[in-house]
Amino acid sequence: RSRSKSKRISGFDMAPPAAMIPNATAATAIVGQMPGTTPTIPGMFTNMF
């Protein structure tokens, strides 16, 4: 096949649509949750002892 055709963009690193990456949304959710969950743990300790 002729090589004169301009080089297409390689399919490598063609990321899926954002909605299709469960990890991306999950990761941001976890990051968002972290400050909220951490303070509850010291609270639990005070109740326990």
Partner 1 sequence: CSRLHTKPSISPTLLLSNMYQRPDMITPGVDAQGQPIDPKAMQEHFEDFYEDLFEELRKYGEIESLNVCDNLADHMVGNVYVQFREEEHAANALKNLTGRYYAGRPIIIDFSPVTDFREATCR
Task: Assess contact for 30 and 24: CB atoms under 8 A.
Answer: no
Rounded to 10 degrees, the C-alpha dihedral 18/21/25/30 comes to -150
In the bound state with partner 1, the residue whose beta carbon lies nearer, of 9 and 34, is 9
Among 6-14, 25-33, 38-46, the segment contacting partner 1 (CB under 8 A): 6-14
For the chain, the first-to-last Cα distance in angstroms comes to 77
10 binds partner 1 (CB under 8 A): yes
CB of 11 to partner 1, least distance (A): 4
- The residues that touch partner 1, with contacts defined as CB under 8 A, are 1, 8, 10-17, 20
